[in-house]
């Protein structure tokens, strides 16, 4: 099954999770289940659908 990709910025990711941007970087360092960040020349991005899956997995836990 192909997975859709919709890239969002670190700030957008923080807004989606309702946390500060610095928390996103802390989660990247400390939470192995946190979605992978993609590093492009134009900036760092997350796949929105991976972030939503992460949120849903936390709700279920």
Q: Tell me the C-alpha distance between 38 and 47, whole Å.
A: 8
Is the per-residue pLDDT at 38 higher than 90? Answer: yes
Torsional sign, CA 36, 38, 44, 46: negative
Tell me how crowded residue 51 is: count the other CB atoms within 10 A of its CB: 19
pLDDT (0 to 100) of residue 50 = 96
Is the per-residue pLDDT at 37 higher than 70? Answer: yes
pLDDT of 2-31, one tens digit each?
A: 578 899 999 999 999 999 999 999 999 999
pLDDT band for 1, please (50, 70, 90 cuts). very low
pLDDT (0 to 100) of residue 9 = 97
């Amino acid at each position: 099954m192909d997975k859709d990709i919709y890239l969002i910025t670190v700030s957008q990711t923080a807004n989606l999770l309702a946390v500060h941007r610095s928390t996103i970087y802390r989660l990247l360092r400390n939470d192995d289940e946190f979605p992978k960040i993609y590093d492009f020349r134009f900036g760092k991005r997350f796949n929105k659908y991976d972030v939503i899956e992460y949120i849903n997995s936390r709700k279920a836990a």
